[in-house]
Structure 1
Amino acid sequence: MKILQFGRFYPPDMGGIQQVMYEISEGITKNGHQCDVLCSNTKAVYEESQFEKYTVYRTSSYGIVLSTSISPQLIYKFWKIHKKYDLIHVQAPDPLSFLALFLVRPKAKVVIHWHSDIVRQKKTLKYFMPLQTWVLKFASRIICTSEKYASSSPFLQKFKEKIEVIPLGISNKSFIANEDNVQVIQNRYKNKKIIFALGRLVSYKGFEYLVKSAQYLSDDFIILIGGTGIQKDNLLTIIKENNLQNKVELLGYLSEEEKNDYLEACFLFCLPSITKAEAFGVVIVEAMMFSKPIVSTNMQDSGVSWVNENNVTGLQVDPKSPKQLAIAFNKISNDKKLYEKMCKNSFHRYTKFFTREKMVTSLIHLFKSII
């Protein structure tokens, strides 16, 4: 099979969907198929990158507007290369990819990988809806990452016969911590219990509520948040106004190696997101690979509450509740047997549902069935 994977960005530009795209291209090519990538660059330059058995085409971008890369060259490049492929695999939501499909109308089969509804841009959604509906009609299949999201998305209910549920998966081979660095981190924070969180500093991630939870925690804990984004100044203000400088630290950008070190060093991982824009939580799976208990929010219609099984791999709390977050942290901390059970269950759930091999095997089976 010759597959073109279509998405907004690709590593080294990192994020949950980018990580999954990498796992898909790597996994499919290792199974003897071609899986190239077409995406936007993060700068106004066209680049081609040759990996071991596949090519990544990065088209020139003039910036981001409403979470969409402004890259007219992407549409032109898609028109030039689309006939080489048997199947187009589109990572959604991505309005630019949808526009390219509409304009080019490839004869190859199209599969939409539905990671999330468009949640935040409600005012512009009504203008985008006709294009989105056209693409969903045009597609041969729609992949959802959890049963919960597939059944709750209002945009997918007319297309139930096209839906396949395939959980996201990642390989643990590249997720290795440096033990010396881990020890340095733990020493730096005087062996306090590290509550680690990671993601873009944007409103739907709910980091402000995690910061505020520090008010209800003893000095035995330290909250560390990795990532960059527009909410940084707001979070720093909350930290200062509540005198939490000794309890919360914003780490800024973390490399993949640094991320692994913090995942290994932490006591538990927290995902405090507040809307279904957090549809799955790939970062939870990464924490599970390191056998960490998870504290996450029970968001209606999001797959996060399926990924983190309540009272098994961690605990779920209501969104926007600093007190409930603190109670969950303390509950896990105060019960050694519970902590050890959740550590064990966390890794077990990763191996059962969320490996790259399981995801790629399911994708290849699906692709072969429709070509």
Structure 2
Amino acid sequence: MRILVVNNFYPPRVGGSAHLADALARGYARAGHDVLVVTAAYQGAPAEEELEPRLRVVRLPSASIPETRLSVSFDLAFTLRPSLRRRLRELLDAFAPDVIHQHGQFFDLTWATAMYARRRGIPALLSVHTRLENPKAHYHGIFRWLDAFVVAPILRRYKPRIVVMDVQMDEYIKRRYRRGYAGLDYIPVGVDPNRMAGGDGEVVRARHGLGDVPLIVTLGHVIPLRDRVWLVEALPAVLEELPDTRLVVVGHVYYDLFLQRARELGVEHAVLAIGAVAKSDVPDYLAAADVECHDLQGYGMGTATLESMAAGVPVVVAVRPDNFPGIDLISGEHCVLVPLGDIDAIAGAITKLLRNPADRARIGESGRSLVQRHFAMDVVLDQHLAVLHSLIGASRG
């Protein structure tokens, strides 16, 4: 196959969508397929490079939207300019893709390649990573408008198959994009379990002067949809039982309300926001962690949580047991599930884990096994390849 992978987010940019697009593109190439990645320029990364013998990346000139609450506090890069259509046409005609795998429904590169796919009769698979939602009512209304009058009409014109990663996304797609897809394929997000193994927790504890204190790590960028406020609000009750406990926030802080709340509650001394770290350092932070916790706002279980489970760290999450269609999450076995918005339950779950090394080890090992069976990248890659093959087969009739 000749596979075109499209995502405005791609390494060296960090984030779940970027890492998954990269991992799948490399997996496609290593499976013997020719792969072209088209993405947005980012922080001086080469305009073109060969990452694998069969994998070429082209980064198109882009402009970033400033970090605001409307952009969910991310710096969003767009390539939209008068020359984009011609540049893409020349690039893609030369590559001649058999199938297109797009990441992200609200990016200009997705829209541009959607029209290319429609004109050329090329099948497309779209992975929807993010729901256009915002906790602020005003911004949420803008997102609803964008979905209804921009995204949905584009989807209805070319009708891709859509990858559904969890039950919240399933409900969202069926509600917002009805009649805008040719079918749904249920494939969870993939992670590399081996990348999370072998971390040295002592390095992290020594670096930050943490000694052997109970340690909660919260992994991933801080944005309004994962703002850590409820986690900080649970901290006073945890500290009442275990006063030496520390909370380490590993990720870029795009939205700092949790720090303000920590000051108001008098727990600022127990919170250490270290910012983003190198990808290679993440296993060390997970090895240092007694508990990981950040998916608390009902937006599903993201890549960072699965990576924490892959490292054998017990996680506390506010998701449904059926978060992943066909995969049952059992509280107290694979993870600890807490009700949405229940601060007492969050504090109780974390405190219980911090007090019980045996429970931490048991849940951590069971979570690691679950990730190996269902979310390991080779498992997820095979599922994507099967869908891409079926799309090409159907298009050729």
TM, length-normalised to structure 1? 0.89
Structure 1 equivalent of residue 251 of structure 2: 227
User: Structure 1 residue 124 and structure 2 residue 124: aligned?
Assistant: no
Structure 2 equivalent of residue 72 of structure 1: 80
Structure 1 residue corresponding to 2:339, chosen from 314, 318, 327: 318
Mark the CA change 1:332 to 1:280 in structure 2 (over 3 Å): closer, same or farther: closer
Deviations 1:167-212, CA, capped at 9 Å, x for gaps? 1212234334453xx2132342121121111222212103122122
Say whether the 8 Å CA contact 2:186–2:325 is kept in structure 1: no
3-state SS in 1 of match to 2:359? helix
Cα RMSD for the two superposed structures: 2.7
Say whether the 8 Å CA contact 1:149–1:302 is kept in structure 2: no
CA-CA distance at 1:128 after TM superposition: 4.2
Structure 2 equivalent of residue 49 of structure 1: 49
Mark the CA change 1:314 to 1:305 in structure 2 (over 3 Å): closer, same or farther: farther
User: Structure 1 residue 212 and structure 2 residue 236: aligned?
Assistant: no
Structure 2 equivalent of residue 39 of structure 1: 39
Say whether the 8 Å CA contact 1:205–1:272 is kept in structure 2: yes
Structure 2 equivalent of residue 63 of structure 1: 64
Structure 2 residue corresponding to 1:237, chosen from 240, 260, 266: 260
Mark the CA change 1:207 to 1:77 in structure 2 (over 3 Å): closer, same or farther: farther
3-state SS in 1 of match to 2:176? coil
Structure 2 equivalent of residue 111 of structure 1: 125
Deviations 1:88-136, CA, capped at 9 Å, x for gaps? 1111233313431355344221111122321124333324424322343
CA-CA distance at 1:157 after TM superposition: 4.6
Task: Identify the range of structure 1 (303-312 vs 314-323) with the bigger mean alpha-carbon deviation.
Answer: 303-312
Runs of 5+ in structure 1 lacking a partner?
none
Deviations 1:226-275, CA, capped at 9 Å, x for gaps? 1123323x333222232223321111121112222101110111124414
Mark the CA change 1:286 to 1:163 in structure 2 (over 3 Å): closer, same or farther: same
Structure 1 residue corresponding to 2:281, chosen from 234, 255, 258: 258
Q: How far apart in 2 are the matches of 1:239 and 1:148?
A: 30
TM, length-normalised to structure 2? 0.83
Say whether the 8 Å CA contact 1:43–1:60 is kept in structure 2: no
- One-letter amino acid matched to 2:77: S
3-state SS in 2 of match to 1:189? coil
Mark the CA change 1:322 to 1:3 in structure 2 (over 3 Å): closer, same or farther: same
CA-CA distance at 1:331 after TM superposition: 2.1
Runs of 5+ in structure 2 lacking a partner?
393-397
Deviations 1:278-315, CA, capped at 9 Å, x for gaps? x4401111111111111011369965996854222111
- One-letter amino acid matched to 1:287: S
- One-letter amino acid matched to 2:250: G
Say whether the 8 Å CA contact 2:12–2:42 is kept in structure 1: no
User: Structure 1 residue 22 and structure 2 residue 22: aligned?
Assistant: yes
- One-letter amino acid matched to 2:368: F
Mark the CA change 1:364 to 1:314 in structure 2 (over 3 Å): closer, same or farther: same
- One-letter amino acid matched to 2:25: S
Structure 1 equivalent of residue 186 of structure 2: 165
Say whether the 8 Å CA contact 1:211–1:238 is kept in structure 2: yes
Deviations 1:329-354, CA, capped at 9 Å, x for gaps? 12223344432220111110011100
Structure 1 equivalent of residue 165 of structure 2: 145
3-state SS in 2 of match to 1:133? helix
CA-CA distance at 1:22 after TM superposition: 1.3
3-state SS in 2 of match to 1:332? helix
3-state SS in 1 of match to 2:48? strand
Q: How far apart in 2 are the matches of 1:205 and 1:269?
A: 14
Q: How far apart in 1 are the matches of 2:186 and 2:142?
A: 28
